[in-house]
């Protein structure tokens, strides 16, 4: 999709970020990926935290270094976010995988999930990851269709979390 690209958090404006967050809140949904949700008092502190997470600095116990990107259009509207984990823990091998992504509620069903994942797969090569694990809920056809259209091969070892079947996919 022309004019749509992944950008680092420092390339987004505070106004576009809060528009993105408020759309999730208005829809009454949990922000996906969780890593894109606000956790600090100011936008500047939040951007600094995301930079530290990429560098592996001051990570909470059990976390791995990771990179956050926002999918932005030519009008500087954030369409979604993707969280790339640079390595996997045992827990992430079961649920989470290398890539978590979400499209803001008012921009769904426009092909952006496929686009954000495709662009994230291009970025993940920079981290030396050649086998990418991605998981999604079984009741999320938009997500698993995006994964499959990007070459995802379903792992027969699905997991369950709180009674929900979690599909596991590998992209090589």
Total domains present in the chain: 1
- Rounded to an integer, the average pLDDT of 20-48 is 94
H-state helical runs in the chain: 14-27, 43-55, 90-94, 112-124, 141-149
Confirm whether 166 is domain-assigned. no
Kindly report, residue by residue over 93-108, the tens digit of the pLDDT: 988 999 999 999 999 9
* 56 — pLDDT class (breaks 50, 70, 90): very high
- Rounded to an integer, the average pLDDT of 32-61 is 93
pLDDT of residue 157: 85
Kindly report, residue by residue over 9-28, the tens digit of the pLDDT: 999 999 999 999 999 999 99
CA 125 to CA 132: how far, in whole Å? 10
Domain that holds residue 24: 5-130
* 1 — pLDDT class (breaks 50, 70, 90): low
**CATH code at position 57:** 3.40.630
Please list, in sequence order, all residues whose beta carbon lies within 8 angstroms of the beta carbon of residue 17, skipping any fewer than 6 positions away.
43, 70, 78
């Amino acid at each position: 999709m022309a004019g749509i690209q992944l950008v680092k958090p420092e390339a987004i404006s505070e106004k576009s970020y809060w528009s993105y967050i408020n759309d999730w809140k208005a829809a009454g949904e949990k922000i996906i990926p969780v890593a894109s949700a606000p956790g600090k008092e100011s936008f500047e502190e939040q951007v600094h935290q995301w930079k530290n997470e990429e560098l592996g600095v001051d990570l909470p116990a059990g976390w791995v270094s990771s990179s956050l990107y926002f999918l932005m259009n030519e009008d500087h509207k954030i369409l979604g976010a993707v969280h790339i984990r640079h390595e996997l823990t045992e827990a992430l091998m079961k649920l989470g995988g290398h890539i978590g992504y979400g499209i803001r509620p008012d921009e769904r069903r426009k092909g952006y999930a496929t686009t954000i994942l495709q662009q994230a797969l291009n970025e993940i090569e920079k981290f030396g990851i050649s086998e990418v694990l991605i998981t999604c809920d079984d009741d999320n056809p938009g997500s698993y269709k995006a994964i499959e259209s990007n070459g995802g091969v379903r792992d027969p070892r699905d997991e369950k979390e709180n009674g929900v079947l979690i599909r596991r996919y590998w992209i090589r």
